[in-house]
Amino acid sequence: MWVTSEIVVVTFQRLRRINAVQSLNSINDQIASFIVTGPKPVEPDQPVFAPPEKEPLQKSMTLMRHLLVDAQAKILKMMDDNKQLAQRIDGAIQSASQEVTNLRSELSATSRRLAELGATDSGSMLETLQHNHNGRTAPRRVE
């Protein structure tokens, strides 16, 4: 049961990260478009910004775009790192599962062997008791 809930949580977190990356891509595209084409004027005759305001705005938008690109790169790297970690964990779980299967098999074989030995020893004991009861000395088993 806990494995299923873990998978749901991990899947949900992965979807949130993918949505975050997609949102950053959208914002990045909008900023790039703004930098290239500039803002749209409210009225066709009026400039949106006076010339002195335009340059600082362009610089701010360029800085924001660089910050977004850096954020995207870090998120993508984190997602890749998490994927690699998940693969290592899956491998360790599979290895542990195989080891448990091997140990169960060994335990089963050991239990069968002990049962066989117990049945053989019980038969030998019964034979020894019968010989002793009849007045004969039974040979002792040396193990």
pLDDT tens across 6-20, in order?
Answer: 666 666 676 777 777
Q: What was the pLDDT predicted at 118?
A: 82
Cβ within 8 Å of residue 127, ≥6 positions away:
138
CB 65 within 8 A of CB 32: yes
Distance CA 11, CA 9 (A): 5
Q: What is the pTM of this model?
A: 0.49
When pLDDT is cut at 50, 70 and 90, the band that residue 138 belongs to is very low
Write down the pLDDT at residue 58: 76
**Range 11-40 average pLDDT:** 73
Q: What percent of the chain has pLDDT over 90?
A: 18
Q: Pick the residue with more confidence: 17 or 105? A: 105
